[in-house]
């Protein structure tokens, strides 16, 4: 298994993985219940620079020369700046004003979306990627990792808690009640 920073050519794979994690949220963003439109919308941003879903903010996991997982992560203090192109695109192309809660906060690197190809789920890839991110961000760079998990997704929440994340509060994102989890070096002592 190899984990590396994404490049623009990885975009078609990244879109499939991120949609696994956020397809319903994309539907909420664009106001259309269409997998194809959600895919086109997200692919547009993954291929571009300087937005929250850009390949620049992604890591990919290769296994046997196949990209089997992707994670989208960025500095929480940059959320408004990175989200602005998304808001403008929705306004121009979907004639909709996107009003969405801030999901990331300053002082954390925010794991926005994380997905594993369906055929590779349940094989420990999620744990391996989380260990990599914890090592890369918390151990090497001494920063806090943050993420949101659906309150109803007990299996995902349990994985994050097992890895050392702690609940720091709740919020509603796109109509879903979420648990805000964080991990930093203090939690690992």
* Residue 170 burial by Cβ neighbours in a 10 Å radius (0-12, 13-18, 19+): exposed
Structural domains present in the chain:
2-183 (3.40.630.30)
User: Average pLDDT for residues 25-31, to the nearest whole number?
Assistant: 93
More confident residue, 121 or 165: 165
Of the listed ranges 4-18, 35-49, 173-187, the least confidently predicted one is 173-187
* Chain-centre distance for alpha carbon 9: 19
Q: What is the rounded CA–CA span in Å between residue 49 and residue 53?
A: 9
Q: Given a cut of 70, is residue 70 above it in pLDDT?
A: yes
């Amino acid at each position: 298994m190899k984990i590396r920073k994404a490049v623009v050519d990885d975009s078609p794979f990244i879109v499939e993985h991120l949609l696994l994690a956020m397809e319903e949220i994309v539907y909420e963003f664009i106001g259309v219940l269409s997998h194809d439109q959600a895919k086109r919308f997200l692919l547009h941003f993954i291929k571009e620079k300087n937005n929250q879903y850009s390949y620049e903010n992604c890591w990919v996991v290769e296994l046997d020369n196949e990209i089997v997982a992707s994670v989208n992560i960025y500095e929480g203090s940059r959320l408004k700046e990175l989200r602005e192109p998304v808001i403008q695109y929705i306004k121009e192309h979907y004639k909709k004003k996107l009003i969405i809660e801030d999901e990331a906060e300053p002082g954390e690197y925010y794991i926005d979306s994380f997905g594993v190809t369906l055929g590779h789920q349940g094989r420990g890839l999620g744990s391996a990627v989380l260990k990599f991110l914890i090592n890369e961000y918390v151990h090497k760079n001494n920063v806090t990792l943050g993420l949101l998990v659906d309150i109803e997704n007990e299996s995902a929440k349990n994985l994050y808690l097992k890895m050392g994340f702690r609940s720091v509060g709740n919020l509603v994102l796109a109509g879903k009640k979420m648990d805000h989890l964080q991990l930093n070096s203090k939690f690992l002592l």
